Structure 1
Amino acid sequence: MADARTTHHGSEPIKFAYWVPNVSGGLVISDIEQRTGWDIGYNRKLAQIAEAAGFEYALTQIRFTAGYGAENQHESVAFSHALLAATERLKVIAAILPGPWNPTLAAKQIATINNLTEGRVAINLVSGWFSGEFRAIGEPWLDHDERYRRSEEFIRALRGIWTEDSFTFAGDFYRYRNYSLKPKPIDPQPEIFQGGSSRAARDMAARVSDWYFTNGNTPENVAKQVDDVQGKAAAEGRRVKIGVNAFAVARPTEAEARAVVDEIIAKANPEAVNAFGHEVKNAGKASPEGEGNWAKSSFEDLVQYNDGFKTNLIGTPRQIAERILDLKDAGVDLVLLGFLHFQEEVEFFGREVIPLVRALEAERGRSRAAA
C-alpha cells in the first residue's frame, strides 16, 4: 500500500481548501483577537482572495445551535451559493446533516446549484457528533454506528437520484419508488466528502464517499488511516481521496509562529473548551471500539476544533511547505486550513507557502524522472 500511495501522490499536485467562517467565533475557542468576520461581506472578499491565492476548495460549516463561541450561524447551502456567485473557479463544499436534511431536499438543492455554477458545488456529509443539537431541534439521536448507516444510505440515495431515472431504493432510513429528478447535475457528478476517524466512518468512506476527511494529525498517524481506508476501498474496486485538517500559522520566523499558538492556548476559554471536549469525546466513546475523532485530544488540541495544531503547519513558509509534502507522502490529497486572521493570512499563505509547495513538488518530480 505504501508504494501505491507514494506513486499516486507523486503525480498530482496537493490541493488546498479553507474553512469558511460562516459561524461566529473563528476557528479557535479562545479570547485572542481574531480579525475574522462571519458576515457575507467578509466572506465574499475572503473567497475571492482564496481563489486568487490558489485555493481550490472552501468548506462551509453547519451548526443549528449556539455554543463554544458559535453564537451565530449562517446556513451552509445558502451561504455556499452566495460564495459561488462571488467567484469563478473556487469549488464550495456545503456541509449537510442527515436528519434536518433528507436526500430528496439535498439532491434537489445541490443539483440546482450545480447547474447554476457549472459544477462547482460539492457536499460534506456530517453524520453528527453533538447530541444536544439534535435534542434542541427535535431530531432523534441515533447510536454511533446507526448514524453512519443512515449517512451511507443518504449517499447511496443521492447518487441514485442524481444518476438514474425512475430511481427505486428501499433502505432502513430512506425509500424511493420510481423517482426522477430533473434537471440532474451536470457531469462530473458533485463530489461527496465525509469525515470521521472511527471504524464505521472509515468503512463508509471506503464504500461510498469520494473524499475522506480526517482530523489533524502527524504524517505517521495519517498514513495509518490512509492505508486502512485505501485498503478497504481497493477491496471495493475504488479509491478514496484524503483530506486532513490543519490550522496554519505562517510567520517570518518559527519563534513568531510558536508565540501565536502559545497565545491562542493561553487565552483559551477553559469552560467552552472543556464543554466541547466533553461532547466530542462522548461521541467518540460511543463507537463500538471507543475511538473516533478527538479520542486522544488534549486540552490544547481541543482549542482548535478539529485538532488542527496536531498537523504542525506552524512555522516559516519553508517549514510549512516541507511539512505539507510530508503529508502528501503519507497519502494526503488535500489540506483543509483554518487561520486566525483569515483574509490576510489566506493571502499570505497563497503568496508565500503555495509557490514553495509547487516548487518542491516539481523538484521531487524531476528527481523521480531522473531515477
Structure 2
Amino acid sequence: MSQTPIKFAYWVPNVSGGLVVSRIEQRTGWDIDYNRQLARIAEQAGFDYALSQIRFTAGYGAEYQHESVAISHALLAATEKLRVIAAILPGPWHPAVLAKQIATIDHLTGGRIAVNIVSGWFRGEFHAIGEPWLEHDERYRRSEEFIEVLKGIWTQDAFSYRGDFYRFHDYSLKPRPLQQPHPEIFQGGSSRAARDMAARVSDWYFTNGNTPEGIEAQVDDIRAKAAANGHSVKIGVNAFIIARDTEAEARAVLDEIIAKADPEAVRAFGHEVKNAGAASPEGEGNWAKSSFEDLVQYNDGFKTNLIGTPQQIAERIVALKALGVDLILSGFLHFQEEVAYFGEKVLPLVRELEARRAAA
C-alpha cells in the first residue's frame, strides 16, 4: 500500500439541485457565497482538492450553473491551500484558449489550478449549443489530442502539432504556468477508450463509484496499461458519503434519498447516460450497467458504500487505498455541515489507520 496519505476532493456544487436527483431536502447552495464558504470549510477540514462541474444547459434538476473556470478562480481566490480542478469540455473549449486561461490563473493563485478533461456524454447539450456530436471513441481521441496540445503549449516554445482535431504552428505561450512540468490533468470515464487514454496521457483518472472488486479491476487494468506505455497515473474514485453517528441513521438517509427520488428526472438522466455508456464499442462506458437507485446519484456514488459511522467509512477508505486508490472524490447531501463533520470525525480516523498500517 502506498505510504502517501490518501487525498480527498469534493464536488463543487456550482450546479443547482445538489448531487442527488431527489426531492429530499438538500441544504446546499449553488451560489458563489455558499461556495466560497464551503471552500474555506473544506480547506480547514483537510480536503486537498475541489472539482467544479461543467454544464451548459438546464435539465435533470440542474436548472442553474456557474461556469467552471470562472468559479474555480473565485474559489482559489477565497482560499490559501486548496487546489481547484476546473472541468473542461473539448469542443466548446479550444485548447489554446484554455491553456492561456489556466496559465494566468496559475500565476494569480500560486500554482493551485488543475483541469479535468471531460469527453462528454450529453448529446442534447452539444446539439443545443451547435457543437458537432462525435461518436464515443472519437470523443476520446479528441480529448487525447486536447491533452497532448495542452502539455505541448505549457512546456514548449514554438509548439507545433498536426492532429485530426487540432493544428498548431510555432506557437509560444508566455508566461507558462508556474506548476512544473504543467498543471495536473485529470480525466474520467469507465470505457476501454477512457482507460486507455488515461494510461497514455493523463495524470489522474476518475472512475464512477463501484464495488471494491470493480475498482480493483479498473486500477489493475489502468496501472498495467500505463506501465507498458512508460507512464504512471493516479486513481480517484467517486463516492457519495453519508457519515452519521450510527449506521442506522446513515442508512435511513440513503433510504430517504431513494424513496424521494424524482422518477421522471432519473429516467431522463438514465436514458441519456445509458445511451452514452452503451455507445462504447464494448458497451462498458459509465452508467452502462447502473440501476435506477444508482442513477439517483449522478456518478454511481452509492456503489462505493461510504455510508455508515465514521469508523466504518474510515476503514473502507483505507481498504480502497490498499487496492490502489489515491483519492476519494466526495459528494454530500448538505455540503457545508457534512464536509465539516467529515473533517472532524472521519479524516482523523483515516490518518490514524494509515499510520497503523505503515507501522505494521
Identify the match of residue 235 of structure 2 among 235, 242, 262. 242
Q: Does 1:360 align with 2:353?
A: yes
Residues 240-264 of structure 1: per-residue CA shift (max 9 Å, x gap): 0000000000000000000000000
Q: Are 1:321 and 2:289 an aligned pair? A: no
Match of 1:230 in 2: 223
Shift in Å, 1:225:
0.3
2:292 corresponds to 1:299 = yes
Shift of residue 187, structure 1, vs aligned partner: 2.8
- In the alignment, is the contact (CA less than 8 A) between 2:5 and 2:354 conserved in 1? yes
- Aligned-partner residue type, residue 132 of structure 1: G
Paired residue for 2:38?
46
- The number of residue pairs the alignment matches comes to 359
TM-score when scaled to structure 1? 0.96
Q: Deviations over 1:184-232 (max 9, x none)?
A: 0013220000000000000000000000000001111101000110001
What is aligned with 1:185? Answer: 177
Q: Which amino acid aligns with 1:153?
A: E
* Equivalent in the alignment of 2:275: 282
Q: Is it true that 1:15 corresponds to 2:7 in the alignment?
A: yes
Q: What is the rounded CA distance, in whole Å, between the counterparts of 2:195 and 2:255 in structure 1?
A: 33
The one of 204, 208, 217 equivalent to 2:210 is: 217
Counterpart among 103, 125, 128 of residue 133 in structure 1: 125
Q: Secondary structure at the match of 2:315?
A: helix
2:79 match: secondary structure: coil
State the partner residue of 2:144.
Answer: 152
Corresponding residue for 1:3?
Answer: none
Distance in 2 (CA, whole Å) between partners of 1:187 and 1:345 is: 31
Maintained 8 Å contact 2:106/2:177: yes
56, 62, 68: which one pairs with 2:48? Answer: 56
State whether structure 2 residue 117 is matched by structure 1 residue 118. no
Pairing partner for 1:76 from 63, 68, 71: 68
User: Counterpart of 1:270 in structure 2: which amino acid?
Assistant: P
1:349-371 deviation line (CA, Å, top 9, x unaligned): 0000000000000000110xxxx
Shift of 1:291: 1.1
Q: Kindly provide the CA deviation profile for residues 92-112 of structure 1, in whole angstroms up to 9, marking residues without a partner as x.
A: 000000010010011000000
Q: Distance in 1 between matches of 2:211 and 2:138?
A: 29
- TM-score, length-normalised on structure 2? 0.99
Tell me by how many angstroms 1:118 deviates: 1.1
Confirm or deny: 8 A CA contact 1:220 1:330 kept in the other structure: no
Separation in 2, partners of 1:12, 1:221 = 23
Partner of 1:338: 331
What amino acid is the match of 1:200? A
Match among 258, 264, 277 for residue 265 of structure 1: 258
1:97–1:125 Cα contact (<8 Å) kept: yes
Aligned position for 1:66:
58
CA distance in 2, matches of 1:22, 1:297: 25
Which of 26, 30, 43 aligns to 1:34? It is 26
- What residue identity is the alignment partner of 2:102? I
Q: Distance in 2 between matches of 1:93 and 1:70?
A: 20
2:198 matches 1:205: yes
SS in structure 1 opposite 2:34? helix
State how far apart, in whole Å, the 1-side matches of 2:223 and 2:232 are. Answer: 6
Report the Cα distance in structure 1 between the residues aligned to 2:323 and 2:241, rounded to whole angstroms: 19
* Distance of 1:161 and 1:305 partners within structure 2: 33
Distance 1:346 1:258 in 2: 18
Q: 2 CA distance for matches of 1:153 and 1:214?
A: 21
Q: Distance in 2 between matches of 1:149 and 1:252?
A: 46
Distance 2:132 2:179 in 1: 35
The separation in 2 between residues aligned to 1:119 and 1:221, in whole angstroms, is: 34
Q: How far apart, in 1, do the equivalents of 2:160 and 2:296 lie? A: 45
Q: Describe the SS at the equivalent of 1:336.
A: strand
SS in 2 for 1:353: helix
Deviation at 1:236, TM superposition (A): 1.1
- 1:238 & 1:161 partners in 2: Cα distance? 20
Q: Give the AA of the match of 2:7.
A: K
Q: Matches of 1:313 and 1:152 in 2, distance apart?
A: 32
